[in-house]
Structure 1
């Protein structure tokens, strides 16, 4: 496993070069896409091709366990395919959402079932969930993570850099040695998958941080789907709060921005530049600095969770969520108002 893991970033770098040669490009549109010229995109092809080769080389691919894992991997593959179609031929935004909702629901029905819901300070055994409520909650989580990662993929290195750190944290949580349970095969398989996904994403970042290759919807939807799938396996092993804590840097910005746009009467389906990270870019921050800020927030969330350990670490959500909402609101009433007044 270790030699393959160390080699995957270099394989990803090479495959990214080949993806660039495919000629699929993302052109500026004068709105959300602010690059000065068309940029090669669909770098997600390289990420997931690297991941697939890694699973083959380690022998994990033909030996993947059942227990719902195949359904989750099909969900990830379906999200990659939906993204690839959007990158190459274009998809109506509403149709894309419908397709993602459908594959999320199918993954929730046939994938691992979340049997219990825990309150952060509730009883240790949690509250039992009926099958229909579990499926609805899982489908919503998978759908949200795929789209949230897509929404956050608007600055070089931001979404994929933060996702790489999230993959590392998920790999650690899924292989945590102090917790033993009957589903260890699924968890160890997902731990290997997320570790290799982190390595593949690292190679992609060599191109992405300099703006020479975008992940495209192929990458953002696929990576978001894999984050959602890994989060579900963690939630089944621990509680729902661990994956929420790890993904807060995405979730806070996405949901607060959607709520703000709804409050001011803006169309939620329109492409826009209202996310917190986009305000920084509009104010003149470099993509690299914005990516570093989000990576730092991801590290804080991961350190808070892993430092306190599973189950206890999830309770830092109260502090981290309040801090995230507070910072988002402060930025909106200061920088956001200044940009609006300046017409930026």
Structure 2
């Protein structure tokens, strides 16, 4: 019954937001980097901070005691990202808020207590880099929602059947939010896009869960629950550096962009393939007893080879 109420509340909240976004012209206009060709409502990812607020209402005492720092970090990064969706902010302002949010996230996971101080800067770089990877990959219908659903589902399985590292509802609420969001986004003509508030919001939540899991288990392999995103972004940035391009400028060099923009493959198919690849990685990762370095080699050698082969083929076909 609780989850049915949550789904209704999330759906109504998003429909109300659509009215507000339409009234105040919060839209995404196609540009040279876009994989879409029509004006669409932006900021549908506001459903993720709303999901956390609903989580707090249903778990008030626990939220106040255990999840306050995570909540402050999530709301801070979502607020600044939503403002950035509406009007462009300076990099200094955005980065400052991101740093504050990451501090709150690391406090929530216990990293400052469990990890030596010299590791803290590394954690900052990894988390902020992963957040930006989430943002970079949010470019076609369904990608953010389906990929996050796979990772959250994997985390829910780990929490239930392998080791409980958090409140079950703390994973199920963002799953429900993804499902509601995908109802409006996972379609040929999306009703809305996630926007920065969505990619940063769900990215922050997923990263928080993975960091919490790593701190509880001391199993660093779980960072590979986001390995497909990580490989795509790292290889694309490396390619742009080799081509002497400005990596901070908008581009269309991601593999998913080449398939969607040049090859004209359905956004829904591309998003589903990326999510399915991550699902296969997660199944192997969760049940593997091999050393971490062996797991990394098994995952990245074949997937990296396939990635580079597909990209080379597409670039040759379209003279890119």
TM-score bracket, shorter-length normalisation: 0.7 to 0.9
Cα shift at 1:64: 3.1
- Count of residue pairs the alignment pairs up: 313
- From 185, 192, 196, the equivalent of 1:217 is 196
Higher relative helix content: 2
**Separation in 1, partners of 2:63, 2:103:** 22
Q: Is the 8 A contact 1:6 1:199 kept in 2?
A: no
In structure 2, how many angstroms separate the alpha carbons of the residues matched to 1:262 and 1:336?
17
1:156 aligns with 2:154: no
Q: Check if 1:201 corresponds to 2:178.
A: yes
Give the stretch that moved more between structures: 275-284 or 83-92.
83-92
Q: Give yes or no for contact 2:131–2:200 (8 Å, CA) kept in 1.
A: yes
2:19 to 18, 21, 32: 21
Maintained 8 Å contact 1:41/1:213: yes
Q: Which residue of 1 aligns with 2:273?
A: 293
Q: Which of 128, 133, 154 matches 1:169?
A: 154
Residues 184-231 of structure 1, C-alpha deviation per residue, up to 9 Å, x if partnerless? 6xx323x42122101111111000112111111111011111111111
Flag structure 2 segments of 5+ consecutive residues without an equivalent.
none
TM-score, normalised relative to structure 1: 0.82
Q: Does 1:56 align with 2:57?
A: yes
Q: Which residue of 2 aligns with 1:36?
A: 37
CA displacement at 1:7 relative to structure 2: 4.3
Q: Which runs of 4+ in 1 moved over 4 A?
A: 311-315
The TM-score, its normalising length taken from structure 2, stands at 0.88
Considering only aligned residues, what root-mean-square deviation do their CA atoms show, in Å?
A: 2.5
Q: How does 1:54-133 map to 2 (within 5 A)?
A: 54-57=55-58, 60-64=59-63, 69-93=67-91, 95-105=93-103, 107-108=105-106, 111-113=109-111, 129-130=115-116, 132-133=117-118
CA distance in 2, matches of 1:65, 1:133: 30
User: After alignment, is 289-298 or 9-18 more displaced?
Assistant: 9-18
